[in-house]
């Protein structure tokens, strides 16, 4: 519009431009936690089940995270002081929890590691035995091998040698190789051959 009287006319032209918005990056976080944790509502957290190890979970909120993996655990000593850098602290879950405080989505994967197995114990920690396996105490077990002494008229218990490696057997007859044991000793061969629903144990004299 032209001026009707002397003065100054100012025209503002907006020549700014903007880049188009790009999709946000969705993080993937690998975590370690105790197995079979409880959720805040008291149910078992599905993300901590052994059947879900390695599964990728799409988590959309902090509530969703605690409902799936439980609340991140951090430990204190006997005096109530925080254990900084403790191997039992669930730093991965805490990182995921913080991320979901400023983001609406994250991928979470639980590693095949049960932090509960790292808890200090007075006895040596051992994993559960596999189903269908047999355990033999070769130190204190007596396998029923007794040798008769005609002079003293008594039986003497003989502790047999254990063969749990087929390379210790000869190719002919399945007997121990000459370098294994001595003449007159006894051996028990532990094998995975199934006989009548149980493992077969073969003895040699």
Q: How many other C-beta atoms are found inside a 10 Å radius of the C-beta of residue 30? A: 12
Q: Considering only 26-30, 46-50, 172-176, 193-197, which range has the smallest mean pLDDT? A: 193-197
Most confident of 77-86, 103-112, 160-169: 103-112
pLDDT in tens, 177-194: 878 877 777 877 776 654
pLDDT in tens, 128-180: 777 777 777 766 766 667 888 888 888 887 777 777 777 877 766 667 787 88
Between CA 66 and CA 111 the distance in angstroms is: 17
Output the six-digit token pair for 147.
């040798």
Please give the average per-residue pLDDT across 91-110, as a whole number.
Answer: 93
Torsion angles phi and psi, residue 196, rounded to 5: 55, 40
pLDDT range class, residue 20, cuts 50, 70, 90: low
Instruction: Give all strands of the β-sheet with 187-195 in edge-to-edge order.
Output: 161-163, 187-195, 198-204
pLDDT (0 to 100) of residue 197: 42
On whether the CB atoms of residues 53 and 112 are closer than 8 A, the answer is yes
Does 198 have pLDDT greater than 50? no
Does 37 have pLDDT greater than 60? yes
- Domain boundaries of the chain, sorted by first residue: 28-117, 146-204
Give the residue ranges of DSSP H helices in 56-123. 62-69, 91-102
Q: How big is the chain by its Cα radius of gyration, in Å?
A: 35
Q: Which residues, at least 6 apart from 195, have a Cβ–Cβ distance to it below 8 Å?
A: none
Between CA 8 and CA 118 the distance in angstroms is: 80
Q: Record the pTM.
A: 0.51
Does 36 have pLDDT greater than 70? yes
The single-letter DSSP state of residue 181 is: S
Most confident of 3-12, 14-23, 81-90, 126-135: 81-90
Output the six-digit token pair for 131.
């189903």
What are the distances in angstroms from CA 154 to CA 124, 150, 151, 183, 185?
Answer: 41, 7, 8, 21, 18
Q: Considering only 13-17, 21-25, 52-56, 113-117, which range has the smallest mean pLDDT? A: 21-25
């Amino acid at each position: 519009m032209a001026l009707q009287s002397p003065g100054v006319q100012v025209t503002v032209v907006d020549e700014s431009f903007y880049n188009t918005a790009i999709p946000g990056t969705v993080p993937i976080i690998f975590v370690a936690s105790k197995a079979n944790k409880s959720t805040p509502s008291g149910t078992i957290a599905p993300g901590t089940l052994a059947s879900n190890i390695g599964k990728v979970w799409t988590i959309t909120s902090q509530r969703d995270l605690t409902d799936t993996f439980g609340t991140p655990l951090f430990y204190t000593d006997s005096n109530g002081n925080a254990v900084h850098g403790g191997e039992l602290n669930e730093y991965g879950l805490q990182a995921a929890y913080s991320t979901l405080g400023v983001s609406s989505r994250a991928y979470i994967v639980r590693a095949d590691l049960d932090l509960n197995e790292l808890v200090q114990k007075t006895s040596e920690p051992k994993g559960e035995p596999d189903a269908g396996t047999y355990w033999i105490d070769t130190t204190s077990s007596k396998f029923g091998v007794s040798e008769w002494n005609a002079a003293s008229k008594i039986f003497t218990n003989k502790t047999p040698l254990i063969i749990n490696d087929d390379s210790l057997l000869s190719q002919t007859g399945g007997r121990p190789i000459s370098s294994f044991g001595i003449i007159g000793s006894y051996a028990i061969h532990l094998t995975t051959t199934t006989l009548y629903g149980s493992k077969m144990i073969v003895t040699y004299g």
